[in-house]
A and B are shown apart, each in its own frame.
Chain A
Amino acid sequence: MIYLDNSATTKPKKEVMDTFIKANEDYYGNPASLHKLGNTAENLLESARRQIAKELQMQHVVFTSGGTEANNLAILGTAQAYAHRGRHIITAVTEHPSVLKSVDQLEARGFEITRLPVDPSGSIDLDHLKTSLRNDTILVTLMQVNNETGAVHPVSEFKEILQGTRTFLHIDAVQGIGKIRMRTEDMPDLLTISAHKIHGLKGSGVLAFNDVQPEAIVIGGGQESGYRSGTVPVPQAAAFAKALRLARPNPEWGLWNKTLREFFGQFEDIKVISPESAAPHILSAAMKGVKGEILVSALQEESIIVSTSSACSSKNKETSHVIKAMGVPAAYQSGVIRLSFGAYTTEQDIAAFQHAFKKVHAIIKGV
């Protein structure tokens, strides 16, 4: 089996699993307990937290149940905490549902939301961002790398635009962390990352932040300095720290990406959707007049695992909001497949994909 769906999720690394198992076996105490076992678990938790904070160059790290909860906390929590300053939030139409649904909910509560459109390359117009900013804009929330197309947003330019304002910048870096480098000076006020996209475990996310105090949305025993209640899963935290430490981009992704773009270029009825400037580890393409699901299952017959535009949206029948927003021609809209690379992807996988795709394409065309 050749797994090219690493943006949906990744296979946990052996080292990460080892950490997880050892932490469960040896440090299973509740970090809030007073006894030694609790104390050691707390020390492990805080070491993991420090390591992640250092890796990200951010001050605060709060462990969550995943990227979705981290995004919810960043947006709902910041909105709640700073509503006295203003009730306007800016985002883009191509964001992840965990962002879009959060702002929808705020809109229903009386916040004003600006949803910036994107051009065919998936980019927002920076001038449009500038002119949308108002005195009462409390938050700009945008993703670093789009999960469906790999389109990259220029975080450093967002930062520059927001400089001197009191507007917080939240970046959803779930698809970008460990894949494309982020400079320390580009770190936003709030940053979402998720473990299972970097060969860590599912159910484990982080919201990192600097000089901002979002209000908790999961409330109870006041764990995580009150930012996120619930017994903290120390083994997940430790495994996350390990996964993040081991995560690094593979320079070959760019080469494979180029190879595949050229490969798709040979077919008249295939259109590469990912913009030229997209992140190297995600490549989406569409076949004219054919449903993505058909390609996915046909490729699976050949032991190649890819997905339609995104794993989250692949189960509902509607066309992806990202694909629509980028103005992909109608004939291609439902034929999108996404390939995404991870640490275990090899050159042979890329070659095997091409071989299988040729075969699948011929079969579908022959029908």
Chain B
Amino acid sequence: MKDLGLWGQLIYYFSHNGMYVLSQFNQTFLVSIYGVLLGAIVGIPLGIWISQYRRLSPVIIGAANVIQTVPSLAMLSILMLGLGLGQTTVVVTVFLYSLLPIIKNTYTGMLSVDPDVLDAGKGMGMTRWQVMMTIRIPLSLSVIIAGIRNALVIGIGITVIGSFIGSGGLGDIIIRGTNATNGGAIILAGALPTALMAIITDLVLSFIEKRLTPKTSSEH
């Protein structure tokens, strides 16, 4: 094995364990996505809500901030005491960490909608619900997506650490690499797909974000 060199070993590794890496990739991706999705389900309505009742915003955003200050390994261990080992605990952890970026971005997005446009909507006789659905949410979507994008990149990082509490995924490969004889190639085999996943999801979401960014009216 040693005569192959690091890159040769890496290629050898992928050709022998391709299916395994793929399934671990899949697991890591799903755990992160589910956590962020749950974060969006809770975070977006919360963000919209506090943008309407602004006195509540320091409380909610403050709470989300506090969660963010707990180191992820500590959070995993704390939740493990209650939820046990495995993927559920990691999904919940990712969920908690995705709250702050999503709530904050939703809140900011809601408030940054041009008041003139809102006035125009009201002037046309729109109800509050209609203003929300046809003006506020569509116009702030790009900012909300930016929050989700942030959350997802954080989430992938946390999921990899989640291997320490038995959730599997690409983190398993990295940890195994640290235990194996000359594990350099194995560590790379776990780390490169992880980085790739983070970069690709970031690119895809930034593409969506760009398409959703409101342009000045003359462009329509």
Same assembly = no
A residues near B (Cβ < 8 Å) are none
B residues near A (Cβ < 8 Å) are none
